[in-house]
Structure 1
Amino acid sequence: MTVHGIHHEIRRARTVEELVAAGPLFDSPTRPEAARDFLSAPGHHLYLAYTGAEPVGFVSGVETVHPDKGREMFLYELAVAEPYRRRGIARALIRTLADLAAELGCYDMWVGVDADNDVALAAYRSAGGTDDGPCAVITWEFA
């Protein structure tokens, strides 16, 4: 995708090395053993946004299944490096995960977010999410 004249590519993370390279985007340094576990766990998904060879954003999601609901996608975490914000990267990452969720037969996707996190709320809403109550749960409907 090209946004504001800069080309960004979104790819699914498949190797520990990719996750280590994306370490500055995470809350803490990448732990290779945890990265291996994440990548090998069924239903765990992580997409990276790149500008050239540099990872500039990511979204992770985990499929959950409940006996009375079926399969849904939990948007676990989203981040975009400061210099690349407000360029549509977060929206593209969210839509990529939402498209995967729909392909997998999930009935929805949701994320928990602090009600005063205006930046996150704006990103989720711009990608089609809607507020689902006072706890600021954002949902996407697929069916």
Structure 2
Amino acid sequence: MDTRPVVRRATTVAQLTAAEHLYDGPARPEWAERFLAAPGHLMLIAYVEGEPVGMVSGIEMSHPDKGTEMCLYELSVDEPYRRRGIGRALTQALAEAANERGCYGMWVGVERDNDAAMATYRSARAEDDGDFAMLTWTFG
């Protein structure tokens, strides 16, 4: 079995919904359509033998005095495919896409005790920028 991933950009609702086992919950076609229609939204899916085994999503954010940066929004690799470099490949592919799109950088928020995520991002050449607090609002 060849487990080298093929990473491709998701461009259809069908591709996004076929990867829903990699998300925190079920995909909704109307949300998938909105994601694809939004400028600056990007999802890359890793395939092994034609099946989706990992995904990374990114969102471009712009500010008048900073330019545009990429936020690595979410990364997921199916359990049987972890620790095989797929998360690193997805992260690097998103960084390359961000660079090609003219982003000045990329960032991700991650809990310090998430050892797997920290190792993945560091292996993809991310640098630790220090501690920060994340405060959230929940609506609805």
TM over 0.5: yes
CA deviations on 1:55-81 (whole Å, 9 max, x unpaired) are: 000000000001221110000000000
Pair 1:76-2:73 in alignment: yes
3-state DSSP of counterpart to 1:38: helix
1:120 is matched with 117
CA deviations on 1:74-122 (whole Å, 9 max, x unpaired) are: 0000000000001110000001000011111111000001111111011
CA RMSD of aligned residues (A): 1.6
Separation in structure 2 between the aligned mates of residue 91 and residue 9 of structure 1, nearest angstrom: 13
Residues 15-34 of structure 1 mapped to structure 2, 5 A cutoff: 15-34=12-31
Seq. identity, %? 59
Separation in structure 1 between the aligned mates of residue 133 and residue 98 of structure 2, nearest angstrom: 20
1:55 is matched with 52
Give the TM-score, by structure 1 length: 0.89
3-state DSSP of counterpart to 1:119: helix
Q: Displaced runs of 4+ in structure 1, greater than 3 A?
A: none
Higher strand share: 1
Deviation (angstroms), 1:7: 2.8
Question: Which one-letter code corresponds to 1:91 in the other structure?
Answer: R
1:89 is matched with 86
Gaps of at least 5 residues in structure 2 are 135-140
Give the TM-score, by structure 2 length: 0.91
Deviation (angstroms), 1:45: 0.2
- Say which of 105, 108, 112 aligns to 1:108: 105
Separation in structure 2 between the aligned mates of residue 18 and residue 5 of structure 1, nearest angstrom: 21
Count, aligned residues: 134
Q: 1:128 to 1:136 in 2, by over 3 A?
A: farther
Deviation (angstroms), 1:5: 4.9
3-state DSSP of counterpart to 1:45: strand
2:5 is matched with 8
Q: 1:108 to 1:101 in 2, by over 3 A?
A: same
